[in-house]
Structure 1
Amino acid sequence: MFGLIGHLTSLEHAQAVARDLGYPEYADQGLDFWCAAPPQIVDTITVTSVTGQQIKGQYVESCFLPEMLAQRRIKAAIRKILNAMAHAQKNGINITALGGFSSIIFEEFNLNQNRQVRNIKLEFERFTTGNTHTAYILCRQVEQASQKLGIELSKATVAVCGATGDIGSAVCRWLDAKTDVPELLLVARNQERLQLLQEELGRGKILSLEEALPQADIVVWVASMPKGVEIDPSTLKQPCLLIDGGYPKNLGTQIQHPGVYVLNGGIVEHSLDIDWKIMSIVNMDVPARQLFACFAESMLLEFEKWYTNFSWGRNQITVEKMELIGQVSLKHGFRPLLEF
């Protein structure tokens, strides 16, 4: 059985979803309540591969909310992720993907040092961040969506915003090794990590966001656009492809301009309907078919019976592992979302 650990985008969203799912005791509660709320299995899932193979899974709602980070309730956020992992393991789930902020919190706060959660010793081989599949899908979206728009990669400048993160660095490695993109722009907050990435690649210009955007034909956003940051779309190239790989996704609502195309990044479509209800709650356009690529990674690992933490640790994603997960993604009927 595979598992998905997720969370909702805000307190308001969580309250509305709790009401829809039949948890009225959660629906009218404030942030203090959600900080104390335990993880819950709220959905049972059936996925059928195009090969005919069928697998079962469960969605674990961690009850983490992004407001916990904004209001400096870091201990609550950490507790949420560890408790959700323990809950998944206790329920016998073989391989579980850490979705959204779950993997970010795990890596940023070195939660691999916290193996003991009450009476459960976490078995980390049961968990994957899903970042390898996400990075692969983002790269395929760059390749395929640019072709749809008539942007030639062999002449294109690609900016990667969040380039030093686990997914961002993997995207840079793929673009360097597997495409003929002539110019990579590297954007991130940590200058030391940027320089190390530049040295690893042997190329790439380190620029600020303001410097990079007007030069880029394609922009890959690996994180949500920060609050307070505004982009003047008239300064962007036309055509310009913006791939929004963050969660929650916010580029499409903030940037609407002729010649600027925003694509929901890191999203896959399955060839067959998936029996679940959770994707309608996170507002997928076609909830029976569309899902986050990180979630799909745990499905792929279950299909292949690869019970291992396929994606784990910061900046460990190789092009070879991206190719491997890409092969089984295609085998079982997943493809990158390409609708603008």
Structure 2
Amino acid sequence: MFGLIGHLTNLEHAHAKAHELGYLEESEQGLDLWCAAPPQVVDHITVTSATGQKIEGKYVESFFLPEMLSQRRIKTAIRKILNAMACAQKEHLDITALGGFSSIIFENFNLSANKQVRNVELDFSRFTTGNTHTAYIICRQVEQYAATLGIKLSEATVAVCGATGDIGSAVCRWLDRKTDVQDLLLIARNQERLNNLQTELGRGKILGLEEALPLADIVVWVASMPQGVDISAIPLKNPCLLIDGGYPKNLDTKLAQEGVSVLKGGIVEHSLDIDWKIMEIVEMDVPGRQFFACFAEAMLLEFEQWHTNFSWGRNQITVEKMEQIGAASVKHGFQPLLTV
């Protein structure tokens, strides 16, 4: 059985959903209530593969909210993720995906040093970030949707914002090795990591946002937006494909320019309806079939009985592993979301 660990977008979203579900008192409470709430299983899931195989899973709500990443609440954020992982393990889930900020918090704050969570010793082989499948889906979105805009990869400049992150570096490796993309622009905040990535690839130009974005035919955005940065006035090409691979997905409001097509990056669409409720809560356009690629990775690992932390550790994603999870994705009926 597989598991998914997730959370809502922000406190406002949490209030709205609590009100819709009839929890009127909770819908009016401040952040302290959500900080105190323990993780719990809130959905049971049945997924049918294109092959006819069926699997079951559980969704664990961590009750983490991004507002908890403020300096005074960072310990709460860490506790939320560790407690959700312990909850998943106590449910005897064979492989669980860390969705949204869960994997980011785990890696950025080195939570692997915290194996003991009360009476549970975490077995990290039971968890995956889902980043390999997310990177694969984003790359397929680039390849497939660019063609609909008349953008030829062999003549295209692709800017990757967040290039040194786990997903960003994987996207760069794929575009370098699996496509004939003309130019890669590498954007990130850590200069040393940028230099290392450029050396690894043997190509790529290191540029800042304001310099890189106007040059790009395709922008892959897999970074968090730096606080106080306004990119709305940066002119983009027409046409330009913008893959919004961040969370929450809101670049369509920040770069609303003529000729710019914004695609929700890292979202898959299944060929069959999934029996679950959770995607209605996170407001997917087609909640029975559309969801995050990181969640799909846990399903694929369950379908294939690959009960291992397939995606784990920073910048460990190889093109070969992307091809492996990609083949399983196609086999079981998952495809990249290609509607803007």
User: Aligning the two structures, in what range does the TM-score lie when normalised by the shorter sequence?
Assistant: over 0.9
Q: Give CA deviations for 1:68-118 in whole Å, capped at 9, x if unaligned.
A: 113541100000000000000001111100001000000001101100000
Structure 1 CA distance for aligned equivalents of residues 69 and 92 of structure 2:
30
In 2, are the aligned partners of 1:225 and 1:251 still within 8 Å (CA)? no
Runs (4+) of structure 1 moved beyond 6 Å? Answer: none
CA distance in 2, matches of 1:299, 1:308: 12
**Contact 1:6/1:98, CA 8 A, preserved across alignment:** yes
- The 5-angstrom pairing of residues 321-332 of structure 1 reads 321-332=321-332
Contact 1:224–1:248 under 8 Å retained in 2: no
Q: Secondary structure at the match of 2:29?
A: coil
Higher alpha-carbon deviation: 138-147 or 251-260: 251-260
Corresponding position of 2:241? 241
Does the residue aligned with 1:256 lie in a helix, a strand or coil?
A: coil
Correspondence 1:2-81 to 2 at 5 A: 2-24=2-24, 26-81=26-81
SS at match of 1:139: helix
Q: What is the CA–CA distance in structure 2 between the aligned matches of 1:179 and 1:190, rounded to whole Å?
A: 26
> Which one-letter code corresponds to 2:152 in the other structure?
E
Q: Percent identity?
A: 77
Q: Distance in 1 between matches of 2:23 and 2:114?
A: 30
1:224·1:249 contact (CA, 8 Å) conserved in 2?
Answer: no
Contact 1:3–1:93 (Cα < 8 Å) also in 2: yes
Shift of 1:253: 2.1
Partner of 2:153: 153
State the TM-score, normalizing by the size of structure 2. 0.97
CA distance in 2, matches of 1:25, 1:52: 43
CA separation of 1:78/1:300 partners in 2, compared to 1, >3 Å: closer, same or farther?
same
Unaligned runs of 5+ in 1: none
Confirm or deny: 8 A CA contact 1:242 1:261 kept in the other structure: yes
- Find the counterpart in structure 2 of residue 89 from structure 1: 89
- Report if aligned partners of 1:2, 1:57 keep a CA contact under 8 Å in 2: yes
Structure 1 residue 23, shift from structure 2 partner: 4.3
- Report the number of matched residues: 340
RMSD, matched Cα:
1.2
Give unpaired runs (5+ residues) of structure 2. Answer: none
- Which residue of structure 2 lines up, in the alignment, with residue 117 of structure 1? 117
- Listed one character per residue, the Cα deviations across residues 16-44 of structure 1 (whole Å, up to 9, x for unaligned) are 22233454553222111211110011111
What is the DSSP-based 3-state SS (H/G/I as helix, E as strand, rest coil) of the residue aligned with 1:59? strand
SS in 1 for 2:45: strand
Once the two structures are superposed, the pairs formed by residues 304-315 of structure 1 within 5 Å of their partners are: 304-315=304-315
Instruction: Give distance in 2, aligned partners of 1:24 and 1:41.
Output: 21
Cα pair 1:224 1:245 within 8 Å, conserved? no
Aligned to 1:143: 143
Q: Which string of whole-angstrom CA distances, capped at 9 and with x for unpartnered residues, describes residues 195-218 of structure 1?
A: 111111111111001110000000
